[in-house]
Amino acid sequence: MISTVAHLKKGDTVGIVCLSSLVEPEKLGNALAFLDELGLRYKIGDTITAKHDYLAGSDNVRLADFHAMVQDPDVKAIFCVKGGYGSARIAGKIDYELLAENPKIFWGFSDLTYLHCAINEYANIVTFHGPMLMAANNMDELSKKMFLQLFSPIEIQYTEAISPLNVVAPGFARGPIIGGNLRRIVSTLGTKFEVRTEGRILLIEDIAETIPRIDSMLQQLKQARKLEQLAGVVIGSFTETGASDEALLVLMQEYFGDLEIPVVAGFKIGHETTNIAIPLGVDAILDAQEKVLRILPGVY
């Protein structure tokens, strides 16, 4: 069973890092101001100002920054401020046993999907798929409210009160929710961090991928036999596809419609102003008839 992490308290210190593309540190102000609103203190990692071509420092620098935050007893959570690309380059060098012995909140999405898969599997702790802090100024109030789950257990119940939902396939499922960015999920295939889907509810989202490219990625998952034993599918935000929502739904129907599992689309989880944060690795309920995704308090 996956391990939980301690909740935050006002006044706690959190670590600010970038494990992917380089950061423009002059734009960090909004992120730090948001942490101030949450009543948190922060330590800024070396990766915030580091540069190595398109990355926030060399692989060794990013790895060392992550390990330093894990080892620091004052740091109760690690927030990644930006995605892009780069986290996969350090995944094979992370000391997961160190993280398991010093469990703390890990927060981010997009490129960090690769590390969500790795940490859930090899450190066996809950991680959080949520907005990057660099986007704090562009988050709506509902997305900001989702950070409160880090302080105390709350019931996450996503219904059509948040956004219209479309049933791709009917059914009811309960199982661990995993996944994130579709491109990064596919990039785990054939590696030691290959996404495990058996009996799990898979979340997928992406940005700036055309319908043919999304088709190609879903086809790769299918041929890798990752769709056969799924418990359910949560289809998040697919933005900047260059196509209509209807075209995306038709594609999803082709891949998921005959699996005899619940599949629901339209969740504002991903690259949008509304980006609902959820814990990964914990049990969730997906009910296509009621059009609800539920994560109960007390399970993370």
93 and 185 co-located in one domain: no
Give me the sheet containing 278-280, strands edge to edge: 41-44, 13-17, 75-80, 105-108, 127-129, 278-280
Give pLDDT tens digits for 250-297. 999 999 999 999 999 999 999 999 999 999 999 999 999 999 999 977
CB 75 within 8 A of CB 13: yes
In a domain, 300, yes or no: no
Token pair of 77 as six digits? 């959570």
In a domain, 252, yes or no: yes
* Domain boundary residue, one of 119, 150, 181: 150
Looking at residue 232, its pLDDT comes to 98
Q: How many domains does the chain have?
A: 2
98 and 226 co-located in one domain: no
Cα dihedral sign, 226-115-146-283: positive
Task: Spell out the residues 6+ positions from residue 159 whose beta carbon is closer than 8 angstroms to its own.
Answer: 165, 290, 291, 292
113 and 168 co-located in one domain: no
**Strand ranges (E), 137-197:** 156-158, 166-169, 172-181
Q: What is the CATH number of the domain that holds 30?
A: 3.40.50.10740
**From CA 43, how far away is CA 208, in angstroms rounded?**
33
46 and 66 co-located in one domain: yes
In a domain, 8, yes or no: no
135 and 194 co-located in one domain: no
pTM over 0.85: yes
Q: Which residues are catalytic?
A: 110, 205, 271
**From CA 48, how far away is CA 65, in angstroms rounded?**
10
* Domain boundary residue, one of 102, 122, 150: 150
Give the chain's residues under pLDDT 70. Answer: 298-299
Q: What is the CATH number of the domain that holds 246?
A: 3.50.30.60
In a domain, 274, yes or no: yes
Hey, what amino acid is at 221? L
3-state DSSP assignment of residue 13: strand
In a domain, 31, yes or no: yes
In a domain, 80, yes or no: yes
Looking at residue 297, its pLDDT comes to 73
235 and 264 co-located in one domain: yes
Residue 99 has phi, psi (to 5 degrees) of -70, -40
**From CA 91, how far away is CA 107, in angstroms rounded?**
16
126 and 227 co-located in one domain: no
17 and 135 co-located in one domain: yes
In a domain, 2, yes or no: no
286 and 163 co-located in one domain: yes
Question: What distances in angstroms separate CA 28 from CA 57, 64, 206, one per listed residue?
Answer: 17, 21, 24
287 and 186 co-located in one domain: yes
> Where in the sequence is the domain holding 37, given as residue range(s)?
13-150
230 and 101 co-located in one domain: no
Looking at residue 266, its pLDDT comes to 98
161 and 125 co-located in one domain: no
Looking at residue 1, its pLDDT comes to 73
**From CA 11, how far away is CA 194, in angstroms rounded?**
37
In a domain, 59, yes or no: yes
Best CA proximity match to 293, nearest among 219, 217, 234, 248: 234
* Domain boundary residue, one of 150, 182, 197: 150
> Within its chain, how far is the Cα of 16 from the centroid?
17
Query: How many CB atoms neighbour CB 224 within 10 A?
Result: 16
Token pair of 158 as six digits? 């996503």
